[in-house]
């Protein structure tokens, strides 16, 4: 096959913004898997098999048999965080993993000491860490982050870097055409220290792209979901992906809504509520931060069960999403979905789903997949928004300036993912999107 992807030579630096529950679970799992002490369950890049070819040529291959993927042994971790604890201390404090699953890689985790974070308390009022950069303005903030990336590459001898946002949800930043629609106006706003329109996460994204690193937004922040960042990604020929890890409730929604749609049942309402007790829950307890998450969670259903396509079934259904901070649960969140459907002759029925998730256990494999696949995309010469990664994300990026509708249907997203891997591997992208 004619695979045009550059080889995954040398070390891959993975720089994560935020060294909390999700990140330390991700790092610990990778380090344990490298030693053969744990399995990377849930990671598509490690387990999934894709059909390539048809008829007599049909084969089912793992991703690394189709395209050159970075190996777990190649990964070198680094992080930024507002709290100074190293990855071992943080993993112990987060209480997601049992001590026996952290201690075998204690030495490696202790070496991951977070760099000072680029932080603005107005964007996450509930966080009070002091491991923070002193910055003159947003441009200075960006320049300091660029220097961090350069130093990390030098100190660790890594060939390539991917930057992943796995920190808390920021206050909602509405898209402002005057600032966010072109790279020139975005840069001007950074230099003018426009703190209303330039979130710290935008400084991380800009710094990553300026230093040749793909950027992944794992929270629902506006960060790279703006034309200025699309322009930056195109200019530097780098992939970007976002937004918000699709872990618990939205995964259920994007997989279950197609059941209702495929079976041509009607929907009267879908009420989703979550209880969550970790640092993410604490930050989301602030209404301005919850607004960012709500926009992301609400967007899933409307592109799967479309009123215009089936007015008898999906006109005027009521869709509500709630998140409640409940400290006793810590990282073990609970997602309840109460779904009111109707069937033959309009008779009502109900579906209840109670997903007792473990937030970081579901997010860690997504981190691994997004990092490895973004690195793959960069080596394959793919740049800009990576729609094939929407399978892993709650609120897939799309060009809303041209009225593009995002694909939220889980099985359509999976077909797009498989087609992209086939194509990069030199096979035909032969799966239709019905």
Please give the structure tokens belonging to residue 298: 């609400």
pLDDT value at residue 1: 54
The reply to whether 12-245+360-424 and 249-356 are identical in fold is no
Tokens (6 digits) for 251 = 């995964």
* pLDDT attached to residue 296: 61
φ, ψ for residue 341 (rounded to 5)?
A: -115, 170
280 phi and psi, to 5 degrees?
-60, -45
Q: Give me the residues of the chain with pLDDT under 70, please.
A: 1-2, 284-285, 290, 292-298
Q: CA torsion, points 107, 109, 111, 113, in degrees to nearest 10? A: -150
Look at residue 318 in the predicted model and tell me its pLDDT.
Answer: 95
User: For the chain, how long is the longest CA-to-CA vector?
Assistant: 68
Q: What is the pLDDT of residue 278?
A: 74
Distance separating the N- and C-terminal Cα atoms of the chain: 27
Between the CA of residue 84 and those of 53, 131, 151, what are the distances in Å? 50, 5, 19
Query: Which residue from 406, 417, 339, 335 is spatially nearest to 373, judged by alpha carbons?
Result: 417
Q: Please report, for the chain, the start and end positions of each structural domain, with discontinuous segments joined by +.
A: 12-245+360-424, 249-356
Phi, psi of 216 (to 5 degrees): -120, 125
Query: In CATH, which of 3.40.50.11400, 2.40.37.10, 3.40.50.2300, 3.30.360.10 is domain 249-356?
Result: 3.30.360.10
| CATH 3.90.1150.150 correct for 12-245+360-424 | no
pLDDT of residue 227: 98
- Local structure of residue 104 (DSSP, 8 states): G
pLDDT for 84? 97
Cβ neighbors of 28 (< 8 A, separation 6 or more) are: 87, 91, 97, 101, 102, 105, 109
Q: Which pLDDT tens digit goes with each residue over 54-88?
A: 999 999 999 999 999 999 999 999 999 999 999 99
- Which strand (E) or helix (H) includes residue 87? helix 87-94
In angstroms, the CA 27 to CA 19 distance is 10
Measured on CA atoms in the order 406, 166, 65, 251, is the torsion positive or negative?
Answer: negative
State the pTM of this model.
Answer: 0.94
């Amino acid at each position: 096959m004619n695979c045009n992807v550059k080889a995954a030579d040398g070390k891959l630096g993975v720089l994560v913004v935020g060294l909390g529950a999700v990140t330390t679970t991700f790092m610990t799992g990778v380090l344990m898997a490298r030693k053969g002490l744990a399995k990377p369950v849930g990671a598509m890049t490690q387990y999934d098999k894709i059909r390539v070819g048809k008829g007599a040529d049909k084969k089912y291959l793992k991703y690394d048999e189709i395209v050159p993927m970075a190996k777990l042994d190649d990964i070198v971790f680094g992080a930024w965080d507002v709290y100074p604890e190293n990855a071992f201390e943080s993993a112990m404090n987060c209480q997601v993993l049992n001590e026996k699953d952290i201690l075998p890689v204690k030495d490696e985790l202790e070496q991951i000491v977070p760099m000072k974070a680029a932080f603005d308390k107005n964007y996450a009022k509930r966080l009070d860490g002091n491991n923070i950069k002193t910055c003159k303005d947003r441009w200075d903030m960006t320049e300091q982050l660029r220097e961090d990336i350069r130093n990390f590459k030098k100190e660790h001898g890594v060939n390539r870097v991917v930057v992943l946002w796995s920190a808390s949800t920021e206050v909602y930043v509405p898209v402002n055409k005057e600032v966010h629609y072109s790279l020139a106006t975005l840069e001007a706003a950074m230099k003018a220290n426009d703190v209303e329109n330039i979130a710290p996460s935008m400084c991380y994204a800009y710094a990553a792209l300026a230093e040749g690193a793909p950027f992944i937004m794992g929270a629902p922040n506006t960060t790279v979901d703006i034309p200025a960042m699309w322009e930056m990604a195109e200019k530097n020929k780098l992939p970007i992906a976002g937004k918000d890890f699709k872990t618990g409730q939205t995964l259920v929604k994007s997989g279950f809504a197609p059941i209702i749609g495929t079976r041509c049942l009607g929907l009267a309402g879908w009420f989703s509520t979550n209880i969550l007790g970790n640092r993410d829950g604490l930050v989301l307890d602030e209404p301005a931060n919850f607004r960012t998450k709500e926009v992301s969670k609400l967007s899933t259903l409307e592109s799967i069960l479309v009123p215009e396509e089936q007015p008898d079934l999906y006109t005027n259904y009521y869709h509500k999403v709630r998140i409640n901070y409940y400290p006793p649960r810590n990282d073990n969140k609970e997602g309840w979905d109460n779904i009111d459907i109707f069937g033959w002759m309009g008779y009502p029925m109900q579906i209840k789903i109670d997903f007792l998730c473990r937030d970081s256990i579901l997010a860690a494999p997504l981190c691994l997949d997004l990092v490895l696949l973004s690195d793959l995309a960069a080596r394959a010469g793919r740049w800009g928004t990576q729609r094939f990664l929407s399978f892993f994300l709650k609120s897939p990026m799309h060009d809303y300036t041209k009225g593009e509708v995002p694909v939220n249907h889980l099985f359509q997203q999976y077909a797009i993912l498989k087609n992209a891997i086939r194509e990069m591997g030199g096979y035909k992208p032969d799966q239709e999107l019905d």
